[in-house]
Amino acid sequence: MTSRPDPRSLLQDLDLDKQQLLDLLTLAAQLKRDKQHGDELPRLRGKNIVLVFEKNSTRTRCSFEVAAYDQGGQVTYLGPEWSHLGREESVADTARVLGRMFDCIALRGHAQDTLEQFAEHAGVPVWNALTDVWHPTQSLADVLTMTEHHGGDVEDIAFCFTGDGHSNIARSLLVTGALLGMDVRVAAPAGLQPPPDVVAAAEAAARSSGARLMVTDDLYPAVRGADFVYTDVWVSMGEPDDAWAARVRSLLPYRVTDDVPNASNRFGVRFMHCLPAIHNRGTVIGASLHQQFGLDGAEVAEEVFESKRSIVFGQAENRMHTIKALLVRALAE
């Protein structure tokens, strides 16, 4: 037996309208101030949250856990090897069990279909903590970060994503920016641009919000006038290592060096990245890329990542505040 997903669920960015997004951002900003000033009120006492993660995580897991604990909730973490999901037990059965024990479920999975099955069967709110298609909790944190570093209205913000435009990050940014009426540019090679259905959904949202959208393979016109330059890793978690050779060939022209933010011609342009980033040889992947391709870093140069333009760690912190807003909105209001 299946049912409609709980209306408090967040499966993709398109589940929210402009006002809901703005309300969440306002709540997240207030919760952030409350935490900083020591004024936070625990609104999730007695609430139990389960994190079902098919993929490992640093920021997403910690954001959900700290957000819940700050608000007085309890969290159970089921990592990639910590449940029967998909091996000895079907998605539907696991969802029905967890839905009877927990007040909400956050799923970080490989396939969007798995998330949607969870939402159909759980009977409680289900949140997308990353799938192969969408990453809505990240785009919420990204917009909060942009508003903190921009003096005008959200509709006045212009940002350029450069790199793998087919990724879940690029899709979520394109759609969320379109819903909010922002100036959104995606610069990516033709074979790695957002899928046509995602572009069509963003264009439909833009007709209502007044957003300005650009999807192009030409980086420098896309970055001109941008307040924020954003990139992501070229090969996502779960993709094979041999994907690097093709990605380096196609994405090297979209690498963020100092020339890219300089080309914005905007005073105060900022650099953003959802992390983890390959910006030097200090990781296993970074060392391997240097050995194979002579690259010191990949999608972003160290000179940009460690510059005063970089706001990536404040952006990472904001994952916690926006996720907290989602929890409070769903379980306490």
- Write out the catalytic residue numbers: 108, 135, 138, 232, 274, 319
Question: What angle, 0 to 180 degrees and rounded to 10, lies between the N-to-C axes of helices 168-180 and 196-209?
Answer: 20
Tokens 């957002």 sit on residue: 194
- Positions of E strands within the chain: 48-53, 74-78, 104-108, 126-128, 158-162, 183-187, 212-216, 228-231, 270-273
DSSP 20: H
Whole-number Cα distances in Å, 163 to 136, 220, 234, 250: 19, 13, 7, 9
Q: What is the dihedral of CA 159, 165, 168, 170, to 10 degrees?
A: 10
| β-pair partners for 273 | 231
* C-alpha torsion 133→138→143→146, nearest 10: -120
Rounded Cα gap, residues 314 and 288, in angstroms: 28
CA 76 – CA 161 distance, rounded (Å): 34
